[in-house]
A and B are shown apart, each in its own frame.
Chain A
Amino acid sequence: MPKVIVNGQEIELKAGEKLNGIQAAQRAGVDIPHYCWHAGLTVVASCRMCLVETGTRNAETGAITMVPKLVPACQTPATDNTIFITNSEKVQQARAMVEEDLLIDHPIDCPICDKAGECLLQDYHFEHGQDERRADIRPFTSRRREMGDTVTLFIDRCVMCTRCVRFTREISGSSELMVINRGSHEEIDVFPGYPLDNKLSGNVVDLCPVGALGDKDFLYQQRVWFMKKHPGICTGCSTGCSITVEENQDTVYRLKPRTNPHVNQWWMCDEGRYGYHYVHSDKRLTGAGKLEDSDYKNVEWSHIITDLDERLRKVRGLGVVLSPHLTVEEAYLLATYARSVDPNAMIVLGHVPVVGVDETFKNGFTIRAEKCPNRRGIEAIVLHYMPKVLTVDDLLAEIAAGRINAAWVTGGYKEPWIDESTAVQFEALDTLIVQDIFSSPLWERATYQLPGAVFAEREGSYVNYADRLQNAVWAVRPPAGVRVEASVYWQLLGRPGMYKARRVLTELAGEIPYFAAAAGAVSDVGVDLKVNLLAAKSEVVSAAVS
C-alpha cells in the first residue's frame, strides 16, 4: 500500500489509487486551499493557491529529500513515499501572496454579492491572507454582463480560475464561454449571439469559487447563512441526481448538486436545478375534501382518515395506483394498507411521463427522457404483490368489468398527467380517492380529495435508472392543509409513533428481495440494488437446481 506523508502524518492509500496532493491531504484531514483545481475538470495549476512543499522519503534509509521550490499540490501525484508540507512558513507566505494578488483588483462587493458566506476568496483571506491592505486602494463595484438566460457574470469579481470555461469545453461540450484579452485585462465572456445556453449551464455557478458567476434564479433572493441544507434527490428524471435542498423557514431557495461518483459526479441539469418553483406554486392543492351532495366539504385530516378506513373496508374491490413520484416507503405502506383492507387489492404502476429522448453530454452526463424518479422502485413494489407490472389501463379494465369499485390514485406530477377521456373512466367507481398536488380532471371527480406532498417535503428513497437506491430527507414542511403521503399511510395502518423512513425501508428490504441491499445503512451516495439481485438470482438458480 502506498504511503504518503502529510505534515509528518503518514497515511496509507489503496493500491492503484491515483490521487494528487490536495486529495491526499484531505485524507489526512488537511485542507489545502485552492481555486482552479476541480476533480471533474483538467488540471491547470494556474491559481497557485495550492502551492506546497514536496519531497520524497527514501524507502530504505528514510532520508528525506525536499524539492527546493514550491509546487502546486493539484499537479503533484501522491505516490509512495511522497512528502507534502502544507503548513510551513514558506507555504503560508505563498498563500498570502496569492490571496493578496487576487484582492488587488477585486471590488469589495461583499455587502451586495450573493457569494458572501460561501466565498473562497473571503474564507481564504481570513485564514491565509495578509493582515493589511498594501496595494493601492481602488473603491469600485463590479461591472456586470449577461452570459445567457440562466447565468449572469460580475466581470470584475472573477479570479480567472477558468473552471467555467473548462466546464463548457470538457463537460457540456458546448464551448460557449471564453477568456478574452491578455494579462490582467482578461475577462470571461460569451461570443455575441452565442449565449451560454446548454442544459447544464447552472453548474458553472457551482464551480465559480467567488461571486463572479451568479444564478439569475437565485440572485439577491437569500443570504446563504440563513439557509439550511438538506440532502435530497432530484425528482426531475430517472437519473436521480443527488442534490441539496436549501431552504429558510420552509421556503426553498435553491437546489445544488451533491457529489455522487455513481450517479451525477458533481453536476445536475438546469431542468432539475431550476425546476423546483412548483413547490411554492399558489396552485398547490391544500385542504382535504370529501364529496357530499355534489359538493366538496372541507374535512379535518383526522376525520377523513377514519372515514376513509371505514369506507374502504366495505368495498367490493380496491385498486391502488402507485405514482412513480412516491418514495419506495410510501408505495410499500400504501400497498400494505390496501391489502390489509382488501386481500385481493389490485396494485398498479402509475403514469410514467416520458418527454423526448435521453440526452447525453460530452462527459457522459445524461438527462433522461423518463421524467420521474422512482419507476423501478414502484415496479418492484408492484411485482411484490402482482404477477407482473400492471398499469392504469389494466385497472381501468377491471373497473369497467365491475370487479373494482374503489380506487386510490396517487399523483404528485409537476405537469398535467391525466386527460379528460381517461379521467371519465374512473366515474364508474363508488369511491375514488385522489392524492395529488395540482388539480386535474381526476381530482375534480374524486370522492376524497387528499392534497399531497412534493419531493422537498418527503422523506424516503427512490430507485434510479441504474437500480441505485438513494435516500432523501425532508427539507420543508408542506403548506398548511397538506399531509405528507407517508404520514397518512402510517396512520391508516395504525402504526405507533411517527413515520420513520429508515425503519420502513429496513422492513420492506427484509420482505422484498429486490431491496435486500438496503436493509442496512445506506450511505449518502446510495446503494446499488443489483449487488444483491445477482446474489438473489444465484440463490434462485441453486434452489431450482437442488
Chain B
Amino acid sequence: MAKFEPVLLANVDNPDSHTLKVYEASGGYKAMKRALTEMTPVAVIDLVKSSNLRGRGGAGFPTGLKWSFLPKDHPGPIYMCINADESEPGTFNNRILMEEDPHQVIEGIIIGCFATRAQTAYIYLRYEYPLSYDRLQGAIDECYKAGYLGKNILGKEFSLDIYLHRGAAAYICGEETGLIESLEGKRAWPRIKPPFPAVEGVFRKPTVVNNIETMACVTQILARGADWFKSIGIPADPKNPRDPGSYGPKLYCLSGHVNKPGCYEAPLGITCRQLIDEFGGGVWKGRKAKAAIPGGISMGLLSEAELDTPLDFAGPGRVGCLGLGTAAVVVLDETVSMVDFLHNSCRFFAHESCGQCTPCREGTEWSLRMLDRIKAGKGRLRDLDLLLEIGDTIGIIPGTTICGLSDGAAWPIKNAIRKFRGEFEEYIKRTNPTGYMVTDAVDALPILAAH
C-alpha cells in the first residue's frame, strides 16, 4: 500500500518538537486562532460532527455527537476532562503525543473547550508518565505566556484554564465516570448512567470526556478540514445507516513478538498483517504469529488466520473480537502458551476491577483462581465451560455490570478458549491426568498473596 504521510506524528521527530516555537514554525495554533476569531462554537461542533471523527479512547463514540449532547443554554460551568490515563495493555500512543507533540493536543483542547463552552479542562494524566507530565506542563505554561490560555484568549470572551491532575495507577480511572469520580477525590467507582456526563458529570456539571489522540485529530480537522479527514480511512457502510464509518488517520501501537515495536500512523482500516509486516518488520526471530491482540487486551484475540482483519471500528467485531479499542496490536508468536496468555489477562483484570459490582468483582477473581489452578496442574475440563460462562455473562453489553471493564475481562477469555480450545484441553489433560475429568467442585488453592 502507498506510504501514508503522517499527520498526527508529523512533528515528533523534529528536535524540540514539544516546544511552542517548533510547533508554531510548521503552522501550529493557526487552526485554533481561526476557530476562535472566525467561527462560532456551534460551527465548530458542526464541523467536527461532519468529519465523523470517532473517539480514539476505545469506545469509538462520534465526538461531535458527544459534544452536542451538552445542554444548550446551560449557565455553566461546563467542564472538559481529557483522558490521559492510557492504561490499556499494549497502548502507548497517547504517551508519544504528550511527550513529543503536546501542543498538538493542547490546541485541540482549546478548540474543543471553545466549542463546548468549557472554561476549565482537567487533563487526567496517569502517574506513570512523568515525562508526559513535564512536557504537558511546559506546553501549558508556554500557552499561558503566549495568551493562548487564561482570561480572554485572543481578546475574545473565551477564557480557559487547563490543569494537570495526576492519577495513582488504577486502570479503571480510564473509564469516563471512573475518571470523574477519581478527579473528584473519591475512589474511582464508575457511575451508573443515566445521568450521562454531558448532563451531570464532574462536580455534577455538564462534562465532556475525550481522549488525547482524539484532541489531536480535532486540531487536524480544524486545520485541514472535514473533507480531508473523510478522505482517509474506511467509509460508512451504505447499507447500514447507523454506521458512522472509520475515518481519519490512526496511531497504531505495535508490540510483542515483532522486530520493530513502535507507534505507527496509518489510515484507519489497515489490516493487522499489514501492520506487522509493513511497519513492524515482521514477527521476530524468524517465527510465525500464533495470535494477535487487535486493540488492547480488552478486545480479545485474533487467530493467525484472522490477521487479515482490517483494523477499523467494524473489522475486529466481525471475527468475534470486542472492537478496535485502542488499536494497540500485540503479537504472540508460535511459542506462546495460550494458558499463559489467559492467565496474564485474568490477573490484570482481577487486579484492576474496581470491585463495585458483583459480577465483575467476583467473576474476574474467580477466573483468575481457575487459571491459577489450571497453571498449577489442577485444572479440569469443566473449568473451560465455567470460564466461558463467566465470559458470556459479565459486562455492560448484557447489562450485568456498571461499566465495560468486565467486557474487557470477558473477551480475552471467550476468544482464547473458543479459538484455541484444543490447546487448553490438551494442557489440562496433560498437567492433570488424574483430575481433569472431575465435575464436582474442587478445593481452592491456598490463597496467594494479594496479587
List residues of A whose CB falls within 8 A of some B CB.
43-49, 51, 67, 69-72, 75, 93-94, 97-98, 101-102, 104-105, 132-138, 159-160, 179, 181-186
Contact = CB atoms under 8 A, between A and B. Distances in A.
A534 to B, nearest CB: 40
B369 A136 contact: yes
A47 B358 contact: yes
Contact of B393 (A47, A97, A133): A97
B85 to A, nearest CB: 15
B361 A71 contact: no
B442 A183 contact: no
A137 B441 contact: yes
B161 interface: no
A185 B450 contact: yes
Contacts of A135: 366, 369, 441
Contact of B365 (A67, A75, A133, A183): A183
B12 to A, nearest CB: 35
Contact of B399 (A69, A93, A133): A69
A160 B355 contact: yes
14 contacts: A45-B402, A48-B358, A51-B400, A72-B192, A93-B393, A94-B393, A97-B359, A97-B393, A101-B363, A104-B365, A138-B444, A182-B353, A183-B350, A186-B355
Given A183-B352, A183-B364, A138 B400 contact: no
B199 interface: no
A43 B192 contact: yes
B386 interface: yes
Interface of B: 170, 187, 189, 192, 350-359, 361-366, 369-370, 373, 386, 393, 396-402, 441-445, 447, 450
A132 B439 CA distance: 11
Nearest to A74: B192
Contacts of B355: 160, 179, 181-186
Contact of B373 (A101, A105, A136): A136
A71 B194 CA distance: 12
Nearest to B444: A136
Given A97-B359, A98-B359, A183 B402 contact: no
B369 A47 contact: no
Nearest to B350: A183
Given A136-B442, A184-B361, A104 B399 contact: no
A339 B63 CA distance: 84
- Which of B192, B356, B444, B445 has most A Cβ within 10 Å? B356
B400 A97 contact: yes
B58 to A, nearest CB: 19
Most buried by B among A46, A67, A138: A46
Task: List 3 tightest A-B contacts by C-beta distance, closest first.
Answer: A69-B399, A136-B444, A101-B362
Contacts of A48: 357-359, 400-401
Contacts of B187: 179, 182
A184 B448 CA distance: 13
Contacts, number: 111
- The binding surface of chain A is classed by DSSP as loop
Contacts of A133: 441
A135 to B, nearest CB: 6
A51 B443 contact: no
A60 B440 CA distance: 53
A317 B350 CA distance: 82
B441 A105 contact: no
A78 to B, nearest CB: 15
Given A43-B192, A136-B444, A138-B443, A102 B362 contact: yes
Contacts of A70: 398-400
B442 to A, nearest CB: 6
A182 B362 contact: no
A101 B443 contact: no
B357 A46 contact: yes
Contact of A160 (B352, B361, B401, B450): B361
Contacts of B441: 132-137
Contacts of B370: 136
A182 B358 contact: no
A307 to B, nearest CB: 68
A168 to B, nearest CB: 15
Given A48-B359, A183-B364, A137 B354 contact: no
Contacts of B350: 183-184
A104 B444 CA distance: 11
A182 B170 contact: yes
Nearest to A106: B362
A179 B356 CA distance: 10
Given A51-B400, A183-B352, 15 more contacts: A46-B356, A48-B400, A93-B393, A97-B400, A101-B359, A105-B362, A136-B373, A136-B443, A138-B447, A179-B187, A182-B353, A183-B351, A183-B364, A184-B355, A186-B355
Nearest to A133: B441
Contacts of B443: 136-138
Contacts of B356: 44, 46, 160
Nearest to B192: A45
Contacts of A94: 393, 398, 400
A58 to B, nearest CB: 21
B358 A46 contact: yes
Contacts of A182: 170, 187, 352-355
A43 B444 CA distance: 35
A280 to B, nearest CB: 42
A71 B399 contact: yes
Nearest to A161: B358
Nearest to A77: B194
A136 B446 CA distance: 11
